Amino acid sequence: MTSRPLIENARARSLFLARHDLAGAPSGPGHGPDLQGVIEDLGFVQVDSINTVARAHHMILHARRTSYRPDALHRLHDRDRGVFEHWTHDASMIAMRHFPHWRLRFARNADVLAEKWTRWGREFGSKTDAVLRRIADHGPCSSADVGEDEARSTGGWWDWHPSKAALEYLWRTGELSVTRRDGFRKVYDLTENVIPPEWLNARFTEEETVDWACRSALDRLGFATSGELSAFWDLITPPEAKGWVEAALKRGEVTEVEIECADRRRRRSLAWPETLEKPVAEPPGRMRVLSPFDPALRDRNRAERLFGFRYRIEIFVPEAKRIYGYYVFPLLEADRIVGRIDIKAERDRDRLQVRALWPEQGVRFGAGRRARLEAALERTARLAGVRSVGFEDGWLREARD
């Protein structure tokens, strides 16, 4: 039996962080071509509405460019068209050059949603043409601009008023695109008015998109199973990714490796052969406040295996049953996650308030680490638009099992 090369845990962490643009100093202008390059490296940035400190997409980019400010992403999307908004595993800002591959998602969405058509009723279906005509005749609109005389409801998007559901359907199937957001509300326009011609008119076969999805995911993950390749963009199915892996192994394009996990167990994965040979930079020792939706943490199971860090969002957990808090932020220091912190931008008091910090097991917050924490919090306060940082009594808690 041929033994598989071992990637030890420290190297695996550094490799993974490097592929997620967290292994270098977060310098750079954080706008224009520099920001475009960050998103190209990541592939996409998840969009989320929670604004306890700053929205997830802004925190993700700020962790990699401390000079980044939210207006830069709005300009890149709304004016420069360097990114487009659609779904990966969730709503995301995606590098514009990838738009042609999303036609596979559009086609599959149309097939799946057509099967559910009868659940939504004929009224919803009748609204799609009307919504398209309205936008063609009068320009971009949001859900607030259509269906004024229709009954409102809540729940899954198929339970919205028919015209709002029609907007969402047309977006998910590619006939409409998001041209901007007003506040956090999507504003839609015809796709040909949003996507630059070179990407709008490019076409790939299904096989080409499957190949691209697997290759680009492996580039960004460094090492992965077929399931992780499929889940990265959430664009192709697990069987498609598995088939690609089997063919790539036969061609000798990828190699099987063993990844050492934080608990010393090993996990079989795939990597490009050159991954085993290239040196990996050690991440700088600075501390960074990460969004819970940061690409390095999005796959909770992978983060737990690599870093020994178990994270679950407790937004929907009753307050009395929460272990940590409503929305706590992981703290990354070099190649370790050293704790999680409960902070909130109190804009009426012009400060970032630290409610609690729980170190990870075996981590002490001595003078040096506290200084790095305070520097990280000051940077985060600037992103949030507040001028000071405050600490509640008893903010430094005991590590929990």
- Residue ranges covered by each domain of the chain: 121-195, 287-391
Query: Tens digit of pLDDT for each residue in 129-154?
Result: 889 999 999 999 998 888 666 666 55
**Two structure tokens written together for 272:** 């490009």
DSSP classification of residue 159 = G
**Two structure tokens written together for 250:** 């036969």
| Topology of the domain comprising 121-195 | Arc Repressor Mutant, subunit A (1.10.10)
> pTM, whole model, 2 decimals?
0.94
| Topology of the domain comprising 287-391 | Aminopeptidase (3.40.630)
Contact 212, 204 (CB under 8 A): yes
pLDDT for position 127 = 84
Distance between CA atoms of 304 and 149, rounded to whole angstroms? 49
Cβ neighbourhood burial of 101 (10 Å; 0-12, 13-18, 19+): buried
Q: What percent of the chain has pLDDT over 90?
A: 82
Distance between CA atoms of 287 and 336, rounded to whole angstroms? 10
pLDDT for position 1 = 46
- H or E segment to which residue 237 belongs: none
Token match 């295996």: residue?
A: 305
Q: How many CA atoms, within 13 angstroms, populate the side-chain half-sphere of residue 104? A: 19
* Topology alike, domains 121-195 and 287-391: no
pLDDT for position 141 = 95
Contact 337, 46 (CB under 8 A): no
Nearest to 326 by CA among 355, 288, 360: 355
Query: Tens digit of pLDDT for each residue in 263-316?
Result: 999 999 999 999 998 889 888 899 999 999 999 999 999 999 999 999 999 988
Q: Which residues of the chain are under the pLDDT cut of 50?
A: 1
Distance between CA atoms of 359 and 280, rounded to whole angstroms? 27
Token match 């991954």: residue?
A: 275
